Amino acid sequence: MAEYIVTKVRKELSDDGKHKHIKGVCTEGGTYYSRKEVVDSINAGNTWKTSADGYKATIKPIKECPKPGCSANPYIETNPDSTKKDNLENLPTC
């Protein structure tokens, strides 16, 4: 199985216009993948991780956007650890 390293994210305005959520990600090689493509790849056995300032975090699929009232799905997230630099929501945009 493959491992993909995500260094940037692309965000979009939610349907209700109240927040921006992740539309997709860009790998260190600059290739863009939608949330669904990432989730499908994870479900197929591949590993996706963020990388920022020497920190890495594993990306995992969740049912939908965690913001109240937002049902964008499927969605992806990272678990917070010792730094927030590698969290998906904090990566620079692509």
> What are the pLDDT digits (tens) for 23-71?
999 999 999 999 999 999 999 999 999 988 888 899 999 999 988 888 8
Counted domains in the chain: 1
pLDDT-derived band at 84, boundaries 50, 70, 90: confident
Closest Cα to residue 50, out of 15, 21, 85? 85
Strand partners, 34: 24
**Angle at Cα 7 formed by Cα 14 and Cα 80, nearest 5°?**
70
Q: What is the pLDDT of residue 51?
A: 87
Which regions of the chain does DSSP assign to beta strands (E)? 3-13, 20-27, 32-34, 47-52, 55-62, 75-78
Instruction: State how far the Cα of 61 lies from the Cα of 76, in Å rounded to an integer.
Output: 4
Q: Give me 84's structure tokens.
A: 């927030």
Is pTM beyond 0.85 here? yes
**Angle at Cα 4 formed by Cα 56 and Cα 38, nearest 5°?**
105
Residue 41 lies in domain: 3-90
Q: What is the pLDDT of residue 82?
A: 60
Is 69 buried (19+), middle (13-18) or exposed (0-12) by CB count in 10 A? exposed
